[in-house]
Amino acid sequence: MSSQRELTHPPHLQAGKLAFAELVTAFGGQVAAAAETGKSQQRISDYGHRNTGDFAPVDVIDCLEERTVGTAGAPHVTRWLARRRGMMLVPLPQLQPSGAWGCSLRRIAKEFGDVAGRVCEAIGNPDSPGEVTADEIRQHQLVRELDELAEQVARMRALAVHTIDAGG
């Protein structure tokens, strides 16, 4: 075992390596990722190991993320980077302009209603101090609900940009 494995990275870099390891798992494992990227299995392992100095290059991340679209947590490394920069990752929607404004508004209202309802359930709990706790967030799936709301807002934003770009 090389001395390279004795490195200790700060927690945020360890989280990045974990994100890469999750990406590799979603792809089908180290052997499959190595075959797809042309890197050795050991190199792929090192990219995801928290105590090595090697980090995955952008081309390897891009290759694997492109092929794991739709899997749970995808895109793993891009999502980690967005969180590191205080940003939220929202996929761009496919537009269906016909009747889209009314449909989009209804979807946003529905998702906002879902979020509001779940927050009300959480703070309506007799044991709640009036704030929403981490356990209540998990129990009421608030992060998932907020992601769905953000996706609908992004859909309406894309519709607005599309309308402007089309000269309408």
- What's the pTM? 0.67
Identify the helix (H) or strand (E) that includes residue 78: helix 76-84
Q: What is the SS3 assignment for 142? A: helix
Separation between Cα atoms, residue 43 and residue 85, nearest integer Å? 27
3-84 folds as: 434 Repressor (Amino-terminal Domain) (1.10.260)
Domain ranges of the chain: 3-84, 100-165
Distance from the first to the final alpha carbon of the chain: 64
Q: Is 52 left (phi over 0), alpha (psi -120 to 50) or beta?
A: beta
Tens of pLDDT along the chain (168 residues) come to 443 456 889 999 999 999 999 999 999 999 999 999 999 999 999 999 999 999 999 999 999 999 999 898 899 999 999 999 998 887 777 766 566 788 888 989 999 999 998 888 888 766 666 788 899 899 988 988 998 899 889 888 888 888 888 885
